[in-house]
Structure 1
């Protein structure tokens, strides 16, 4: 082996089977692909997932205390940009925009993707800060699968797990690379391509504006007020301000740590 840079650690750990984390608050259903997840306990059955505060799903899970994991089949790979590249904050109803449907879990009433191959209803039990992400720990209350799962194991006769290999790098268009282990079929899908591109660009601009507002503020209250004004100008929900400020503060701290380590 040879030593490589820590900046590509994430890519070394791929491929992974990502889950779509779904949640609902005040009638708003959202979801996002999450590659950083794991089972953390047998008894009780605890699953964990890392989500950054800027993600709209972060707010939904925090506010509702109920969420779900959804596993998708590779046949749904074309839906991936809606789930991984754009925010529910900027595209309300993005799951339905992707052509997917929502069903309700039988125990917690959590929103599940009806076309998923498996889903788990989770009740939030703890949130642990971990750098620029928080780790959400949820106790599984119910699990649902298609018929391919039987005898305590996937038969993989019809289910083709959707796996994620990472993004290509600039210059040039950025593609997310997905694959499935059955024959190792591979697809490259342009990041936020087509009609999703303006929404992805708007999200980048919003994050940049928020970060600049946080840097220019002398305290938390001032930062939140400034970001509320930005959200209002963008036609977005001002109540998201605290989450966006928290995300920006962590990124600013990260930049400072990087600068100190290089000096």
Structure 2
């Protein structure tokens, strides 16, 4: 049962500010394409892993966007993980519509053809995932697309086992805030010294014996 007051160690924040609790994250640059309109790129933070076997991603796209129109014409998209060198792309592609500007040309983004889908990859990204839409649903002026992974790529040497290498200059986005009348965007400059390995042995050993044997290793 909920109590009337939060613990004194907490401060209440607005629903909007609550989104900062789960950052930093890698914001995707979503690439779409169609024969009628050509390629487009949009900044997207409303995405999540939505399946494990097979791997799938869920992407929310506002009906106001050019990206929505393109996915409806060609139900495929690329999710590119930007490097810190692509901060201009992350900023502009979240502000300006592809109906008004060819953002790929304006930013000088280099693209290469996709292998399994008819959508280009961003050549300077840390990695790209090719996805085809397998299902979708609508909610409050957005369509949520389930994308099935058709192919995925990372820069040569960009993975340390199954972990993305911090040598790859990942754009870990912290969000935005206002300073006076100007909006500022923040990101973390991560490097290998920031990475700590936690095997979890001690907490596993604290389990009851039957559970300990099951989850050890």
Return the TM-score normalized by structure 1: 0.64
- Give the whole-Å Cα distance in 2 for the aligned partners of 1:160 and 1:71: 11
**Conserved? CA contact 1:56–1:87, under 8 Å:** yes
For the structure 1 residues 129 and 160, does the alpha-carbon distance in structure 2 shift closer, same or farther, using more than 3 Å as the test? same
Task: Provide structure 1 residue ranges, at least 5 long, that are not aligned to the other structure.
Answer: 185-263
State the 4+ residue runs in structure 1 displaced beyond 3 angstroms.
none
- Give the whole-Å Cα distance in 1 for the aligned partners of 2:139 and 2:127: 28
Displacement of 1:42 after TM fit?
1.1
- Give the whole-Å Cα distance in 2 for the aligned partners of 1:33 and 1:172: 22
- Give the whole-Å Cα distance in 2 for the aligned partners of 1:8 and 1:155: 30
Is 1:138–2:147 an aligned residue pair? yes
Q: 1:72 aligns with which of 49, 73, 82?
A: 82
- Give the whole-Å Cα distance in 2 for the aligned partners of 1:170 and 1:89: 30
**Conserved? CA contact 2:173–2:187, under 8 Å:** yes
- Give the whole-Å Cα distance in 2 for the aligned partners of 1:88 and 1:3: 38
**Conserved? CA contact 1:82–1:95, under 8 Å:** no
Aligned to 2:66: 56
Q: 2:41 aligns with which of 31, 34, 39?
A: 31
- Give the whole-Å Cα distance in 1 for the aligned partners of 2:45 and 2:189: 15
**Conserved? CA contact 1:120–1:143, under 8 Å:** yes
**Conserved? CA contact 2:76–2:131, under 8 Å:** yes
RMSD over aligned Cα, in angstroms?
A: 1.9
For the structure 1 residues 150 and 107, does the alpha-carbon distance in structure 2 shift closer, same or farther, using more than 3 Å as the test? farther
- Give the whole-Å Cα distance in 1 for the aligned partners of 2:165 and 2:33: 32
**Conserved? CA contact 2:113–2:121, under 8 Å:** yes
Q: 1:149 aligns with which of 156, 159, 162?
A: 159
- Give the whole-Å Cα distance in 1 for the aligned partners of 2:59 and 2:172: 16
Aligned to 1:96: 105
**Deviating more after overlay: 137-146 vs 49-58:** 49-58
Greater length-normalized contact order (CA 8 Å, ≥ 6 residues apart): 2
Q: Which has the higher helix share?
A: 1
Aligned to 1:5: 14
Displacement of 1:55 after TM fit?
1.2
What number of residue pairs does the alignment pair up? 182
- Give the whole-Å Cα distance in 2 for the aligned partners of 1:130 and 1:15: 26
Task: Provide structure 2 residue ranges, at least 5 long, that are not aligned to the other structure.
Answer: 1-9, 195-217
**Conserved? CA contact 2:48–2:59, under 8 Å:** yes
**Conserved? CA contact 1:83–1:95, under 8 Å:** no
For the structure 1 residues 54 and 83, does the alpha-carbon distance in structure 2 shift closer, same or farther, using more than 3 Å as the test? same
From the CA coordinates, give the structure whose radius of gyration is larger: 2
Return the TM-score normalized by structure 2: 0.76
Displacement of 1:48 after TM fit?
0.9
- Give the whole-Å Cα distance in 2 for the aligned partners of 1:151 and 1:167: 32
